Structure 1
Amino acid sequence: MTRRKIETKKIENTTARQVTFSKRRRGLFKKALELSTLCDAQLALVVFSATGKLFDFSSPSMQQVIGRRQNLHSKNLNKMDQPSLEAQIDNSTKTMSSNETLERTHGMRQMIGEVLQQLNVEELQKLEELLEVGLTSVLKTKEEGFLGEIGALKRKEAQLIEDNQRLKRQMEKQFKIKIHAIEQGLSSESITNICSSSYPPQQQDNDDTCLKLG
Structure 2
Amino acid sequence: MGLAGLAGIINAAGFHAIGHFSSHLSGTVAVLSEELAGADWGLALLAVWVTVCFIAGAAATAVLMTWQRERHLRGRYARCLIVEALLLAGIAAVDQFIAPRTQGLISLRVLLLWGGLSFLMGFQNAIVTQISHARIRTTHVTGMITDIGVALGQRVAHWRHPDWHLPSGFARSPVRMHIMTVSAFIGGGILGVFGYRGLGPAFLLLIAAALLAVGLYDLARRRE
Question: Normalising TM by the smaller chain, what interval?
Answer: under 0.3
| Greater fraction of residues in strand | 1
Q: Which has the higher contact order (CA 8 A, sep 6+)?
A: 2
Q: Which has the larger radius of gyration?
A: 1
TM-score normalised over the length of structure 1:
0.19
